[in-house]
Amino acid sequence: MSRDRKKSRPEAVGSILDSVLRQTGLDRRAGERSLLDAWSEVAGERVAGHVRAVDIEDGVLVLDADHAAWRQELTLLFPELLRNLRARFGANAVREIRWLHQRRGRGGPRS
């Protein structure tokens, strides 16, 4: 071992992780993830029982509902929902809400 090498104290894992996340740009993605984790608190248990937050990327929140009636009701509540999300996570956290579009049925597209 070289005598020139300086002795340093161990660094906290949390500090190292924060630094790596910042350097890789993943800190923003982790922040977005916290919004998804808090969906039931922000939307309310009743809504969250029927509508789930699927993804968020670059301020676009993607939702999926178990029934068209929930999609319609929540679409009407988008302005209020956006206010709640922005109040909790910041003005730039969510700029748009979209619905997840899934193909219905099995076996792929019909010919």
- Please choose, from the candidates 93, 111, 104, the residue with its C-alpha nearest in 3D space to the C-alpha of residue 35: 93
> Domain for residue 111, yes or no?
no
> Domain for residue 2, yes or no?
no
The CATH code of the domain that includes 95 is: 3.30.300
Whole-model pTM over 0.95: no
If DSSP states are collapsed to H, E and C, what string results for 54-100? EEEECCEEEEEECCHHHHHHHHHCHHHHHHHHHHHHCCCCCCEEEEC
What is the number of structural domains in the chain? 1
Average pLDDT over residues 32-57: 89
> Domain for residue 106, yes or no?
no
Q: pLDDT band for position 110 (50/70/90)?
A: very low
pLDDT(107) > 80: no
> Domain for residue 107, yes or no?
no
CA–CA separation, 55 vs 86, rounded Å? Answer: 16
> Domain for residue 81, yes or no?
yes
CB proximity list for 88: less than 8 A, separation 6 or greater: 38, 42
* pLDDT attached to residue 52: 94
- Please choose, from the candidates 27, 106, 96, the residue with its C-alpha nearest in 3D space to the C-alpha of residue 63: 96
pLDDT(97) > 60: yes
> Domain for residue 1, yes or no?
no
> Domain for residue 19, yes or no?
yes
Q: What's the domain range around 28?
A: 13-99
Look-up: residue for tokens 């968020």? 56
